Amino acid sequence: MDQAVLDRLVAAALAAQSRAYAPYSQFAVGAAVLTADGHIFSGANIENASYPLTICAERVALFSAHMAAAGPVTALAVVTPTATVASPCGACRQVIFELAPRAQIILLNADASERRLTTPAELLPYGFGPDQLRGE
């Protein structure tokens, strides 16, 4: 991925973070996905007083891209309000594994000064997916 595209993706994740609804945890997360056709879809975590109804930024962005039929996800950037990079939660790792299996994952700290590159398989080794449902 060239630097200009990476910069756009990171900027979209940072902008999404500012739209998070996190009145309970105060932990605003932003995410942005890049699809093969060049579109960027963003998402932010949205909390709820009934905590299980909360949805993470990564899932908002991935589900938005899926609903737009935008094509395969090639990259996902996630920014957290932390001094060092933080990894997606287990539920998000599972969704990433299935909806973005070949994506480059860019994890960013609060000011995007620290970046860690990873893959869905590294985030979720021995992941469960469609192959297992088919008995493969």
pLDDT at 49 over 80: yes
Q: Does the active-site annotation cover 122?
A: no
Q: What is the pLDDT of residue 59?
A: 98
Q: What is the pLDDT of residue 1?
A: 82
Residue 51 among known ligand-binding residues: yes
Residue 47 among known ligand-binding residues: yes
Residue 92 among known ligand-binding residues: yes
- Nearest residue to 33 (alpha-carbon basis) of 52, 2, 8: 8
pLDDT above 70: percentage of residues in the chain = 100
Which residue of the set 58, 114, 122, 136 is catalytic?
58
Q: What is the pLDDT of residue 136?
A: 76
Average per-residue pLDDT for the chain: 96
Domains of the chain, earliest start first: 3-133 (3.40.140.10)
Q: What is the pLDDT of residues 21-31, one digit of tens each?
A: 999 999 999 99
Q: What is the pLDDT of residues 84-135, one digit of tens each?
A: 999 999 999 999 999 999 999 999 999 999 999 999 999 999 998 888 888 8
* Cβ pair 123, 93 in contact under 8 A: yes
Q: What is the pLDDT of residue 132?
A: 86
Instruction: Using DSSP bridges, classify how beta strands 73-79 and 104-108 pair: parallel, antiparallel or unpaired.
Output: parallel
Residue 55 among known ligand-binding residues: no
